[in-house]
A = this chain, B = another copy of it.
């Protein structure tokens, strides 16, 4: 591994390891993005995938929120679709629709179009972006890498793009369960190699996004999501036991105990989960991350501060990484992001003194 500048703020890593700290670390999902004018300025010159594929640009937008806000982590600006792309599918970013596959996997036979990628070649730009970003961060905060979870990637690969119900993908599970498992396993193998490569390139913490896990019944979750999430954590931990792993299985209210039994150190919660219910389910088996309703950032600052205090009180002062329950939204006011971050700092310090 390359040598990087020493870390000046390791708060999130200490919390991830279960240590008690002087305050609660905080970052925001999608903290690099359209709500920032400096990001929009970059995007006026470069397309979304140009930014993702150009390490200097990816580093620039990754660091933008760190320059502006006192967050305790950076998360690489990238997209979960780089994995399906590396597996041979074409992905286009369609304005207003998000990532779109012009030729989705409509039948299991079409899996023949998938390739076993040379991860270093196909995703080298991500590894390079991590190395450049880590160097340019200069130890200010740890750098988080990430990947989409197998089911969430399958949902897009089969459906062809964003959808309300992902019923084409969910139809596969019931009609083609064995082909679904084969697709999920192939995707898992790439994700594992990709995440291990991210650590070797400079990532200091990793998050797996299962954004569409909430579309499952408890049974289909246990068949088509959980085993692959488990396998990813076990294999990445085997390679890099000290790198904290986060799982964000959005909407999976019914399986927090099962997630706590995996090798993930941190369970990220969406905003529909009550902190005390989650803590009861997980006990001390995982650090919890989250989970302010992203729409609370639309509130006036005094209301937003009250919401942050309420959230922090729900999680308590330890084993908690403050975050939103989902990503920042394009019309959020960056000054409200500041209120969120500063309120976590101030109130979480205060909580430790009373």
How many angstroms between the C-alpha atoms of A217 and B216 in the bound complex?
Answer: 20
Q: Does A273 contact B (CB under 8 A)?
A: yes
Tally of chain A residues near chain B (CB < 8 A): 35
A172: shortest Cβ distance to chain B, in Å?
Answer: 9
The answer to the question of A123 belonging to the interface, with a C-beta cut-off of 8 Å to chain B, is no
Are A217 and B272 in touch, CB under 8 angstroms? yes
- Contact between A329 and B167, CB atoms less than 8 A apart: yes
Q: Assess the B216–A272 pair: CB atoms within 8 A.
A: yes
Q: How far is the CA of A137 from the CA of B280 in the complex (A)?
A: 50
Interface residues of A in 17-58 (CB under 8 A from B): none
Picked from B175, B254, B294, B329, the residue with its CB within 8 Å of the CB of A272 is B254
A296 with B162: in contact, given A272-B216, A274-B254 (CB under 8 Å)?
A: no
Complex contacts, A218 vs chain B, CB 8 Å: 272, 274
Most chain B CB neighbours (cut-off 10 Å) among A173, A293, A310: A293
* Complex Cα gap A183–B171 (Å): 38
Find the residue from A162, A295, A300 having the highest chain B CB count within 10 A. Answer: A295
Interface of A is mostly: helix
Closest to A215 in B: B272
A214 within 8 A of B: yes
Q: Quick check: is A197 within 8 A (CB to CB) of the other chain?
A: no
Q: 1/0 per residue A135-152: CB within 8 Å of B? A: 000000000000000000
Which B residue's beta carbon lies closest to that of A171?
B298
- Is A293 a contact of B217 with CB atoms below 8 Å? yes
A165 at the interface (CB under 8 A from B): yes
Contact A298 B174 (CB under 8 A): yes
Q: Render A262-298 as a binary contact track against B, CB cut-off 8 A, 1 for contact.
A: 0000000001111001000000000000000111101
Of chain B, the residue at the smallest CB distance from A276 is: B218
The minimal Cβ–Cβ distance linking A312 to chain B, given in whole angstroms, is: 14
Please tell me which one of the listed residues B164, B217, B273, B274 contacts residue A271 in the complex, with CB atoms under 8 A apart. Answer: B217
B295 and A170: CB pair below 8 A?
A: yes
B residues near A295, Cβ cutoff 8 Å: 167, 170-171, 173-174
